[in-house]
A and B are shown apart, each in its own frame.
Chain A
């Protein structure tokens, strides 16, 4: 009998522990911001501030009871909640309800999240095998240029996407050779990869397209129109007309989860990233595994880039990825190097981008305040690596070159 009672008792005692109170505080802080957004949209500053102060109080109490990290997290989330909440209440409220059509916002979220999902899952393969990949940004950029270039030259978006993948894999191969074979510092090489991608794509773009820009008739990745779903309330506008690559990212997500956690391949890859010497001892080739993982990551990041130019923006300009590779890296870390975690983080970050994009409609037009929403991914990741809400702990052997004995 006691076996059934124990979990309940544990759960109850957890809530009164400092850690539990801190977590409640963090929740309240988030709530403070949300109170001011639709569908609730509190009209006065009172509610966000009240709830936010509660969050800060819970945080301070937690800190004083010795659970510093969670406590400070609650304090920070309370302050953020008050700030964001007051920002939102200051905007014209009547406008808010009509313009925030949630489905549109969520569809936009998916569009913003997809490049991040591809790149973050790519990064997961590389980093799980023990190779840091700061070069995700560069590999993505390669994909976005060569995708649109390939589609333009061959007249087919399928070939464009394939060419994009190959280009990303080539750059990843450079990363792999230098990091694995030559045992260079992986962060320096990742930085170099970003420089190279910027140089290569910029050079080719100006040389090939120059002042004319990308022609308008480049084939695009088609949207999948689900006729039957269109009329369905709320769901229809979100999923009814999504780009093929978005659906592909869902497939990739499940596939990468299965490969990483349910197959021997994934087990080997994780073993190489956690304890290469042990993996080597039982006959797993550390080098081959890492090569495969890094090259896969390049291909996937490039897919994200190809979606960006062929399925989303339909154009290319120098440095078009504009830091999305770094957001993907943030999503990966925030998601604790797990596929669904990374996807959830990508959705959250995509949502903040979508908010930043749509908010000017209902803030005073032209206001720069929505820019602040773009900070969210980075601030959250910073909090996550600082270990406030479930600390992100990287694979044990990450960043260490392996020397065969």
Chain B
């Protein structure tokens, strides 16, 4: 929020909500600020390339861009290039798929005024349950087995986030703290489950700290590209469908209306007869469901197996669950925005991976860290809304007053 209410904030919980802040964003910046912010972040990333490694930032970015496969959309590239670009684009969209879902997870909670920072834990919970269901029950036929894995995996994510939502609703424990704690509980649980002599450890090799492979008939169908070389699976469409579901739930259902009302002003919503506690719980559970779904889809789509390193190695800030925060913020919580933000970050991740970046132009190990830098910068600029503040100064003087009045009521 850009203004504190004049009254002393005693015992009323966090008054200025993320959602009302976003209402301000939407009015002040539109689609231009995310675009300018992204360009700005890339510009600074380019400066880093130039200053530290003395490489040409333009050719570096060009190589990254070619690694993303987005040049597939250009009509003028040659046939050979197109084959290569198609391969790259499939990988980019593979990474975009979970990012759409984790972005939706963060965005959905944002709309209720909650900050779900536990996307990574919910993603992990989803993939753990997904891999467990898909690797056991091998007698089941393919389609129901997939549906069951997806359902239970999403439920695991929803349950995990639901704990945080429940604690927020009943005792007012801040969801940022509880979701961080739940994240780490899941990471270490995975270490036990898939670790040596753990209950879900693979029966193939006692020193391997990973799960069993999922049953072959639970692999998601690859509709574009070579299944052996990680083509694009149908999970992409599930993610896109979830974008629509997200929009419908928020804008066309009573629950969505209630969640948005609670997000703008929980007290006013409470006085209007909305059950704020229920809204908090459901918002967190649905949010976690999206992140859990991302986890299952990755397991069924291209991972097929889950290792301890897979879960714990992603505990750092660079993982898809945390990236969801950047996706939601950059996409301004709108379905369309989230799609493009997820595509941007998916492309960035893929373009800088060592499989897709030409090492002659720029070493991929460096580029991966460059990606982290750019992600951090995007978050920093978007989070502060620097550009809104400095490019739309006139509006800044008008709008916060109005918001301050509404949030202090």
Contact = CB atoms under 8 A, between A and B. Distances in A.
Nearest to B173: A385
B325 interface: yes
Nearest to A195: B376
A401 interface: yes
A120 B386 CA distance: 30
B274 interface: no
B174 A385 contact: yes
A405 B6 CA distance: 9
B185 A379 contact: yes
Interface stretch (B96-104, B132-140, B186-194, B295-303): B186-194
B383 A198 contact: no
A203 B370 contact: yes
Contact of A202 (B167, B174, B189, B372): B372
Interface string B283-327: 000000000000000000000000010000001111000100110
A223 B52 CA distance: 36
Interface in B347-366: 363, 365-366
Contacts of A178: 380, 383-384
Given A207-B366, A387-B171, A322 B315 contact: yes
A197 B369 CA distance: 10
A383 B230 CA distance: 43
B369 A199 contact: yes
Name which of A188, A329, A364, A381 has the most chain B CB atoms within 10 A of its CB. A188
A405 B4 CA distance: 10
B303 to A, nearest CB: 20
Interface string A365-379: 011110110110111
A185 interface: yes
Interface stretch (A9-17, A23-31, A36-44, A392-400): A392-400
Contact of B21 (A185, A318, A319, A330): A185
Contact of A371 (B182, B192, B370, B375): B192
Contacts, number: 206
Contact of B52 (A207, A210, A333, A403): A207
Contact of B363 (A194, A204, A206, A381): A206
A366 B191 CA distance: 12
Contacts of B317: 137-138, 191, 194-195, 197-198
B213 to A, nearest CB: 19
Contacts of A132: 176
Interface stretch (B8-16, B27-35, B60-68, B258-266): B8-16
A400 B198 CA distance: 44
A202 B368 contact: yes
A371 B180 contact: no
Contact of A189 (B3, B117, B195, B384): B384
A372 B192 contact: yes
Contacts of B376: 192-196, 198-199
A333 B184 CA distance: 16
Interface string B377-388: 101101111100
Given A191-B117, A199-B376, A396 B177 contact: no
A229 interface: no
A386 B368 contact: no
A382 B198 contact: no
A195 B372 contact: yes
A275 interface: yes
B154 interface: no
A132 to B, nearest CB: 8
Contacts of A337: none
B71 interface: no
A200 B182 CA distance: 27
A396 B129 CA distance: 39
Interface string B5-47: 0101110001110100100000000000000000000000000
B58 interface: no
Contacts of B207: 366
A372 B191 CA distance: 8
B167 A386 contact: yes
A275 B8 contact: yes
A118 interface: no
A386 B192 contact: no
Nearest to A205: B369
B178 interface: yes
Contacts of A275: 8
Interface string A102-119: 000000000000000000
A192 B176 contact: no
A195 B173 contact: no
A322 B21 CA distance: 32
A319 B363 CA distance: 19
A189 B384 CA distance: 8
Contact of A198 (B174, B189, B316, B326): B316
B171 A202 contact: no
Given A182-B389, A188-B325, A195 B185 contact: no
Contacts of B370: 199, 203
Nearest to B207: A366
A255 interface: no
Contact of A187 (B10, B115, B374): B115
A399 B174 CA distance: 11
B371 interface: yes
A162 B173 CA distance: 37
B268 interface: no
Contacts of A323: 184, 187, 315-316
Contact of B380 (A69, A189, A276): A189
A235 interface: no
A278 interface: yes
A322 B311 CA distance: 12
B181 A330 contact: yes
A98 B18 CA distance: 55
B177 A364 contact: no
A379 B316 CA distance: 19
A326 interface: yes
A262 interface: no
Contact of A203 (B178, B308, B369): B369
Contacts of A195: 317-318, 322, 326, 372-373, 375-376, 379
Nearest to A327: B184
A247 interface: no
A277 B187 CA distance: 41
B209 interface: yes
B1 interface: yes
Nearest to B11: A396
Contacts of A252: none
Contacts of A344: none
The 7 A-B pairs with the shortest beta carbon distances in the complex, nearest first, are A368-B195, A199-B372, A195-B376, A188-B383, A199-B373, A192-B379, A196-B376
5 contacts: A187-B176, A188-B329, A194-B322, A199-B371, A206-B366
Given A369-B197, A378-B185, A401-B4, 6 more contacts: A276-B4, A319-B318, A368-B193, A368-B196, A372-B188, A381-B181
Interface of B: 1-4, 6, 8-10, 14-16, 18, 21, 48, 52-53, 115, 117, 167, 171, 173-174, 176-178, 180-182, 184-185, 187-189, 191-198, 201, 207, 209, 308, 315-318, 322, 325-326, 329, 363, 365-366, 368-377, 379-380, 382-386, 389
